[in-house]
Structures are given as C-alpha cells and as structure tokens.
Structure 1
C-alpha cells in the first residue's frame, strides 16, 4: 500500500477515535453483551422475587432465547463458540425463569442436545463431576456454577452434596495472610468465596462437627467482611457474574434483606442494556483510555487537541488510588481498569497509566508525584520469580494469580521510560530498586520465552487454537514493550543486549505465524483478526516492511468488508471470553502510527522527580 493510502486510513480511524470520547474527555469503550452475565443476572433477580423486576427478567430471558448458537449451545459472547459452562448456566436460567413457556422447552431441548455432544447428560452427578474435572483445583468458577445449577433446580440433592465447600471462614483472616492458605479461589474472588461458601454451608445437611459449629459462628462476621468489600456502586469488581453469584447465594441463605444484597441487586438492575442483555463488567475505561493514548503516541495532541489532552491528564491523575484499597488491602498509588468504584489496582493498568502520563507530561509536581508513586507501587508488586502478577504479590497457587509475560513487559516499558524521562532527578534509592527490578524482570522474560520465540499472555486467548491460548497476542505485546524500551537512552548496555536478543526471537516467531492472506490470528493457520494483525504489524513495524504491508492490505480489505469487527480474544473472571469495541480501532491506529510516525519523543526532564 502507498504511504498516502495509509495516511488516509489513519485520518478516517482517528476521526472515529475522537468521536468515541465521552463527555468527560476519556474513552469508556463498550464490552460485548454476555450470555453468561445475562443468565446469572436474571436468576439473581428471580430468586429475589421482586415483582418490579419481572420485565427485566423477561427481557433477559428473551435475549437468551434469541442468542442461542446454531449448535444449540451458548458462548460467552454472541460471537463466541459454545462452551459447556455458559450453556449450563443459560440452561438453568431458562429452566428457572420460564420453563413453562412452550418456546422455552424448545430451547432447553436444544441445549440438552448440545451438552450431550460434550458428554454431559441430564444426570446431575454427571454434570457435577464434569464441571469439577474441567476446572480442576481452581474453584473460582466451578463451585459458583454448580451452586447456581442447584439453586435453579437442575442439580438433585446428591449432586448438590458433592459440591466442594468453600472455606469462607478463612476470609476473616487479614488479607495479607490469604496467600499462605489454599482458599481454592483466585485473589480477586473473595466475595464469591464468602457468598457461595455461606450458601453451601447453610443449605447442606451434614452431621454435627466442630468445624460446622465454627463455620456457623463465622457466617455473621463473614457477611460483615463482605459488606466492607462492597464498593459504592454495589458491584464487586464491577463484574455482573460475580455480583450475581454472591447475591443469589446470600438470598438463598436467608439474607435477602441484607444491605449487600440490596446494593448488589440495584447494581444489576442498572447494568441491564436496552436489548435485554448484560455485559461482563461495567467497562474497561482506564484500560481503553491508556490504549488510545498509546496508539496515538506523540501524535496525541495534534489529533485530539490541547484541551483534550488536558482533560485526559486530569482524569488519569484523579482516578489514581490514594488510600489502602478495601477490597484486597493494596497500597495506595495504583490504577484499576475503570473509573468506577468497584475497580481494584492492577499491574497492567498501572503501567498503562504511567506511560500515558509520561506521554502527556508537562512537568508539574502533581504529575511527577503521581508517576513516582505509581512506579513505587508497581515495583512493590514484583514476584520473587521476577515477573509481575495482576493484583497481588505472592499468590501463585492458581494460574490467574501467577506472573505473566505481557504484564512484565509492560512494567519494564513503564520503568525504563520513566527513568529516561526523569534522568538523574529520580530518587537514588528508587533508581537502584528499579534497576534491580528490571534485571529480574528481564530474567523472567528470558526464562519464559519459548524456544520458538513466543510468549503467552494471561488475560487473552484465542478460541480457535487447540489450547485456547494466544501466543501471537502475547508475543506482539511483549515485543512492542521491549522495542519501545530500547528507544530510551537510560537502558544499561547489558540489559539492552538481553532485550535485543529476545526481540529478534520474537520477531522471527511473528513472521513465521503470518497467514498467506497477510493476516495474523492466534497462530499459523488460525483465521485472522484486526486485533492480532494490527498488534503484529506494530511489533514488526519499520524493520519488516513486506510483512507489514501485507498485514495492512489485509486490514484494509477487512475494514471494507466488515468494518472494525471486534473478536472475543479477552478473558475475564477466570476464563470467560469477551470482546471490546475499542480494541480493533486502537490497535489499527497504533499500527498505522508506528509505521507512519516511528519512534518515541523523550524531551529532557523539565523538572525534578525528587
């Protein structure tokens, strides 16, 4: 493609990006509707029994009936392949909310036929064993799923008794102790541990035991703990399924009039969309905002205007956490994925916010303090293996609490760029810590780069790869972070050499995975998406012109035929697929910007960071 054609396409896309900004000047994005969220939401409302919710429940019910897949099952999004977990939840919701409807019986039969193809029969013991086997030792999702099936009357008493008891009483320990115990759920699912655990304890008929007496005594204080974890919005982590699971279980445990339930149900009511569906979460506004700023890079002000940049800067500074977080005890100064109150600070969004603020940096004391404090928070999250986890240091028992490559690469980029921007003005003790942190992070990335050059991401996958993983996404993300790090002068020579070797391997991997039509999917031969193709082009920009031009040709053709169709490559709350409207737009723009306007501007430090 000619350079003029690329410039023209960038103008079209940046115009769209500006139109996506909300009235406050940042980007909210739009998450895909979720069959799983819709099913859990209407069950929670139905169990509550408020006649005023009848219309909400009915519209959710009809949305489920209208969005069943051709094979009779349900996927996590309307564009997702069917899976057993979501199909079972939708089955139970349809059964519980309107099983007498003639049309409902037809849909129930369709789901039963789909489940039969996966070896799942109507025998409830078969359902229980299959779900527990699929999720293994991680009860974050399996036990809430089975509990909802029991609440809806899909599981018989014997199958219900086989659902593992969650140790909700351990939630009464200080949060800093959680990592030393096997809570059987991931760090961010403590509300489910409490709500679902109390439901199982309260409704299972078991013989007298001291452990049962102890658990009974722990119910009231655990509910008080749950109340302390609840954000102002009423949505735990702003997540519809998590909030719905907790609410349905508390109601079934005799806690219908608890304030947690009242606020949680209000949250669910507010999240319903006009088409009858619910999304997986309120939004990913901080994440898509920092992605948009990164996509435009040095072109940010020329595209959006000076006033827009000022609003973006003020917004990010405003939403930095300034106190100890009540949900997980996290220290101040991190950023979460959204500006809403249910958000929790995490490594990826903190690195993204630091980089975005550095891109817009004017040298004020407020900016400097926010960035330095963010660096300190992020450095404190590093695990002993050198990698960075999402939320909590030291939680390594379950996969979604472990270190991962894309978060680690993002942290490296944030540290290097901040050190380059502040130069010798950065506090000496912090600089020493960051240099040590960078060496350990590089060691982690080197250790976990596969022999073929790829890295695997944690929170992103591809439904069409054999293992559902997405090495193309992970490799492109890490490669971009490391290549941007090399553009900074502060990088030590030995670290520069180490990163350079990893980048070469990563580039060769990405080149080997390009499809004949010029696209990239989750791997060689996997259908391409705008997101994976654009990210791969960004990672290979300038040095690999032929591969990139072929990628741009595919992107242009895809845009003409399907506009900016988002793909369900994101993973949420254990293993729930989602797609985000903003992803194809911002990644396409980033690929164009890196090709048309390569490099990162790093002016001399205008102010002291001390």
Structure 2
C-alpha cells in the first residue's frame, strides 16, 4: 500500500477510534467503571422457569409473585424458539440439544404449575428437533465424559416427568463432606465449580432414584445434613452460585423436588432468580462481567496512541482494587489475591480476570497522582502475582479456578488463560520474586509451545465459534497467545520464533474474503443487509488485527492482512455492526453467551494497536505492556 493510502487509512482509523472512544466512555457507571450487558439466554430462562415451577408445584401458597415470573419466562421461551424447532443458548445461537431439552422440561413444568408453556405445535416441532438430534444419546455425546451438565439436564427432565429416575446417573454427593483440598484426589465426576450441583442433584437422585447398595445407601443418607451445610457455606450473599442462573436453578429445583422448598438455600436461590430476571422476561447466563469488561476497557483506552488518560479517576481505581478477593474463597478454597469476573458476591477468583486486573492497574498507575493509591496498586499487583504463581499447574499451564484438577475439559490448563497469565506476570517490578516469576513464565511458554496445533493455531478454553464443527475458536486462542509475546526470547530462541511465525501464518491464511476473521454461515443469517454477504465477526477480526499488529507488523503478508482487517473494522463501525455482538463466549459447561461491549472494546484495542504499529508510520511503534519489568531470561 502506498504511503498516501496508508495515511488515508490511518486517518479513517483515527476518526473511527475517536467515535468508539466516545461510545465506550458513555457506557461508564457514575464511579467510572463498566458493567456491560450479557445476552438473554433461552438456556438460563428455561432452567429458571423449571426451578420456579418446581417450587410452586411442591410448595403451594404465596405463589402469585412466582407465577408471574413463570408466565414472563414462558412467554420469552415462546419467542426464542428457532425455525428448526430447537432452541439455542442465545437469540443469535444455533439450536442445540441441551437447551432444547431444557426448554421442553421448562414448558412441561410451567404447564403443570400455572398452565403456561409452548403451544402444541411448537412442542411438536421441538420434539421433532430433539429426535433428529439423537435424543438422550445425542445429549450424552455432546458432553462426553464430563457429567457437569448432562446429569443436571436429565435431573431437570426427571423432575418434569419426561424420563424415569433410573436414567439419571447417581452423583457421589457424599464426597463434598471432605475438605476442598481433597476434591481433586477423589476424582470428582464434575468440574470444580459445580460442587453445589453435585450436592443438590446428587441428593435428589438419592431420594427419588433406585436405592443404592448397602452400605453406600447408609453413608449417603448420613451425609445429607453435612453436605447441606456445604451448600449453605458456598452460597453467596446474593443467593446465586457463581451469579449463574443455570447453576442456581438446578439447586433450587432439586431442593423443591425433595420437599425442601423452605430451606434457606432454596429461598435464597429463589430470591436471586427474582432479582436477576430481565425486563423482557428472560434470564442472562450470569448477572454481569463488570470486572472483566472494565479491565478490557481500560486496556483498550490506554492503548490509544493519543490517549490523554482523561478516562482515569481515583474512584475507578478504588473500585477495581475493591474487586480483589481478600479472604479464602468458600466456593473453591482459593487463597486471597485473585480477581473474579464481577464485583458481586457470587464471583470466584480465576486466572483470566486476575491478569486482566493486574494489567488494568498498571495502566491506571501511570495516571495516578496519589502516593497512597500507587502503593495500593503495587501491593495488589504483588498479591495477584503470587496468586497466579500458586495456581500454575505442573504441566506449566494455568487452569481457571483450581490447581491440579485437570481431568475434565473446563478444569484443565488452557492456552488462552496461560497466555494471559504470562502477560500479567510480566508487569511490575518483582524484586526478590523475579526468579520465581521467570521460572513460571518459562514453564508457561513451554506449555504453549507444546500446545500449538499442527497448523500453527492454539485452541482456547473459554471462547468458541458456533459455525466450526467442534465449536472451537482458533482465532481467539492464537490471537491471545501472540498478544502475550510469550514465545519471544529465552532459550531455544529459533524454535520459539518458528512457533510464532507459524501462528502468524495461520492468521494470515485464515483471513476471510471480506477482510475479517472467524464467523461463518450463521453470521449472514442475522446480520447481512443489502447485497453484500458478510461472514466474519467484529470480535474475531479485532482480535486477529490486534495480534498481528502487535506481533506480525513488518511481515509483508501480515501487513496486508492488517490493512484489510482494519478496513473491515472501519466499515463495520460505519454499518453499526460493532453494536451487534456475536455469541463467541463460552460459559460453564460450554454454554454460549455474548457480551454487548466485546465488539466495541475489541475494535478499540485493535485500531489503537494498528495506529501504533510500524505499518502506519505516523505513530510510534507499539510497546509491549505498561510498566513492564521484563524478567525473562535473555
């Protein structure tokens, strides 16, 4: 591209970035942070309707308020059925058998409780979709050996009378009486965050299903009171386990179905469901991702080459500092020092939000005039760093919540988390801990090198693409690893450079004809207008541009890919597509969601990085991270 054309592109990018900056700043709360908005979820709505309906059926009286919630939820479900008869997790998601079964169970229970639900014709179409998708066998195939979600779904169906309790597998809820430190040794059949479901659903199957053999039956009966204490101890002040509607709903419906609707756990769970319903009668997958989107927003704003720091305020900084967990967490047993995804009581510290917060604090420190607050930033960063170091698995990667589980998909080490942890560890002056940080980064780097796919990509854990056969998202994973610059320097530099080169070439090779990345046929279904076919997503395109501008600028193929990607993003903003978020996010047990601020924030970050890159020479080259003490070996 000629210099004049590049200058024109840079000018357009600058104008677009200014627009996005204005839009993002307008999304702030009064104290300067961001809350965002998660998508309505047919899956969450179905579980909430089932839970409240089960409670109404088993705890008659004072039902007027709860009947109104069922009625709103049932109406939302009727509006969200896809044309193929099935249900998807969000209003932009393809149908899947899990959500479809949950919708059928919800409609059945709603009809039994208040005579509301799907019409006969809609039910017929839904059952036809389920049959064509393989029925129960298809449901089991979707989750394989991970019982975290398949058993709750089948429990929901049994409570609704759709299947016999004999078909629901027993869960060893009695294991929850052991200390949390022993859970990984007990080879739990569910992931670390699903202990409340293990307890509540396991007990319900124990009461309603076939009797266990002696003496296991006696052991389980004796364990009921103590495991109920575990449920009470793990329930947050909000009443919502992990602030998640599905997990909380499974607990509520299980207790209601065993005539324990007046138990405090059930009552508090119902209160959470009543508090979290959206105006349209649906429920989101989680309350919000306030801490996460605030960290991302700060990073995107500060990455603008013309940033003046006007977005910064002491109240924003204090809010972010207040989100750091200061006590051992009752849910996972995590030590103090980490951050979760929200400031609400149901959050759990994890290895994605913690480095995100550390990076955001580094950005804010540059604009903070208070010595006392800068000291708090340094102390919080050190505590977060130590928290990350203790979480690292033996294989060098980082899991989400708990070190050492690693048996089931959503407890294993993952590439996106490991790359983000490395970015977080590279920030700040570590002093006497520098050697330990060096070693952790080196081990994490080796894990990433071992995890690279043959085509050069990395597969993430928490993000997906619904149009891919395996619903994975190599664009997200590859971009996140390249953004970390985890493979630069250190021993065996030539191998690391080769690994990085393969990743850059992968992104170049997978760019779509429209100049963007990712997406697929489903994107056209929901967002195309006029005669132009658009198949890429704004989110995936922004991530790829961000990564290439950071790691690949100067490579002729990468430069052209960046130019085309920037043009796609600018055109998308002109068309308003940055206000059409796409379901690329995974939640627990591979449940889809989208976040309204993702396309806005990701595009801001990408354009800021492109304007800093050597490709657009009117701005200085991009730096690595704010206030970095690069403690990796040369």
TM-score, normalised by the number of residues in structure 2: 0.88
- Alignment-derived partner of residue 72 in structure 1: 85
Q: For 1:420-466, what per-residue CA distance to the aligned partner results, in whole angstroms no more than 9, with x for missing partners?
A: xx2xxx332x1111111111111101111122211000011101011
Q: Which residue of 1 aligns with 2:157?
A: 149
* Cα distance between partner residues in 2 of 1:460 and 1:529: 13
1:466-481 alignment, distance < 5 Å: 466-481=469-484
Q: Distance in 2 between matches of 1:498 and 1:103?
A: 58
Is 1:472–1:522's contact at 8 Å kept on the other side of the alignment?
no
**Given the alignment, which residue of 513, 537, 540 partners 1:516?**
513
**CA contact 2:341–2:348 (8 Å) conserved in 1:** yes
Q: What is the DSSP-based 3-state SS (H/G/I as helix, E as strand, rest coil) of the residue aligned with 2:586?
A: strand
Q: Which residue does the alignment assign to 1:46?
A: 53
In structure 2, what is the equivalent of residue 36 of structure 1? 43
Distance 1:579 1:287 in 2: 13
Alignment of 1:586-605 (within 5 A): 586-598=601-613, 599-600=622-623, 602=626
Aligned to 1:124: none
Change (3 A) 1:19 1:210: same
Listed one character per residue, the Cα deviations across residues 491-550 of structure 1 (whole Å, up to 9, x for unaligned) are: x64376665443222111100000111110168999310000011011111433321121
Within-5 A mapping of 1:366-377: 366-377=376-387
Partner residue in 1 for 2:29: 22
Which shows bigger deviation, 32-41 or 43-52? 43-52
Match of 1:506 among 497, 503, 507: 503
TM superposition outliers: structure 1 runs of 4+ over 6 Å: 523-526
Out of 197, 206, 221, the residue aligned to residue 216 of structure 1 is 221
Label 1:370 to 1:495 Cα distance change in 2 as closer, same or farther (>3 A).
farther
Aligned to 1:262, which of 267, 289, 292? 267
Instruction: Quickly say closer, same or farther: Cα 1:467–1:604, change in 2 above 3 A.
Output: closer
Cα offset for 1:204?
Answer: 1.5
Give the one of 101, 104, 117 matched to 1:88. 101
| Partners of 2:573 and 2:235 in 1: CA distance | 42
Give, in angstroms, the shift of residue 132 of structure 1.
2.9
* 2:571 pairs with 1:557: yes
Deviation at 1:102, TM superposition (A): 8.9
SS at match of 1:574: coil
Helix, strand or coil at the partner of 1:571: strand
Of 109, 118, 122, the match for 2:133: 118
Which structure 1 residue ranges, 5 or more long, are not aligned? 121-126, 487-491, 606-610
Counterpart of 2:13 in structure 1 is: 6
Q: Following the alignment from structure 2 to structure 1, what is the Cα–Cα distance between the partners of residues 476 and 304?
A: 24
Report the more deviating stretch, 553-562 or 99-108. Answer: 99-108
What's the CA shift string for 1:219-260, capped at 9, x where partnerless? 011001110000011000000000000110011122111111
Residue 207 of structure 1: how far off its partner (Å): 6.2
- What residue number does 1:389 align with? 399
1:417 to 408, 427, 434: 427
Matching residue of 1:287: 292
Question: What residue number does 2:187 align with?
Answer: 182
Q: Distance in 1 between matches of 2:46 and 2:74?
A: 8
TM-score normalised by the chain length of structure 1:
0.91
Q: CA deviation at 1:103?
A: 5.8
Q: Is the CA contact 2:304–2:605 (under 8 Å) kept in the aligned structure 1?
A: no
Cα distance change on mapping 1:515 and 1:524 into 2, 3 Å:
farther
Deviations 1:163-204 (A, max 9, x none): 110100001100000001121000010000001001000112
Q: Is the 8 A contact 2:581 2:599 kept in 1?
A: yes
Answer yes or no: is 1:494 the counterpart of 2:497: no
Deviation of 1:360 after TM superposition, in Å, equals 1.5
Residue 360 (structure 2) aligned to one of 327, 337, 356: 356
TM-fit CA distance, 1:414: 1.3
Post-superposition Cα deviations, 1:49-101, rounded to whole Å, max 9, x if no partner, equal 12321111101101100111011110000000000010010011112212756
Deviations 1:304-330 (A, max 9, x none): 616x34222211111101111111110
**Residue 431 (structure 1) aligned to one of 431, 434, 443:** 434
**How many Å separate the matches in 1 of 2:26 and 2:346?**
27
1:17-76: CA deviations, max 9, x gaps?
A: 001111221111111000010011011111111232111110110110011101111000
* Alpha-carbon contact 1:408-1:445 (below 8 Å) kept: yes
1:347, distance to aligned residue in structure 2 (A): 0.3
Match of 2:177 in 1: 172
* 1:249 partnered with 2:254: yes
* 1:460-484 residue CA offsets vs partner (Å, 9 max, x unmatched): 110101111111111011111117x
**Aligned residues of 2:425 and 2:437 also touching (Cα < 8 A):** yes
Which of 447, 456, 459 is the equivalent residue of 1:456?
Answer: 459
SS of alignment partner, residue 47 of structure 1: helix
Distance in 2 between residues matched to 1:142 and 1:102, nearest whole Å: 23
How many residue pairs align between the two structures? 581
Q: What secondary structure is seen at the aligned counterpart in 2 of 1:275?
A: coil
Partner of 1:312: 316
Aligned-partner SS, 1:551:
helix
Query: CA offsets per residue over residues 256-284 of structure 1, 9 Å max, x none?
Result: 11111111100000000110000000011
Q: d(CA) in 1 for partners of 2:627 and 2:398?
A: 29
Deviation at 1:303, TM superposition (A): 5.7
After superposition, the C-alpha distances for 1:337-365 in whole angstroms (9 at most, x for unaligned) are 11000000000100111111111125622
**Contact 2:320–2:357 (CA under 8 A) maintained in structure 1:** yes
3-state SS, counterpart of residue 403 of structure 1: coil
Checking the alignment, whether the CA contact within 8 Å between 2:359 and 2:626 is kept in structure 1 is no
Task: Point out the more displaced range, 172-181 or 558-567.
Answer: 558-567
2:239–2:265 CA contact under 8 A, matched in 1:
yes
Q: 1:315 to 1:322 in 2, by over 3 A?
A: same
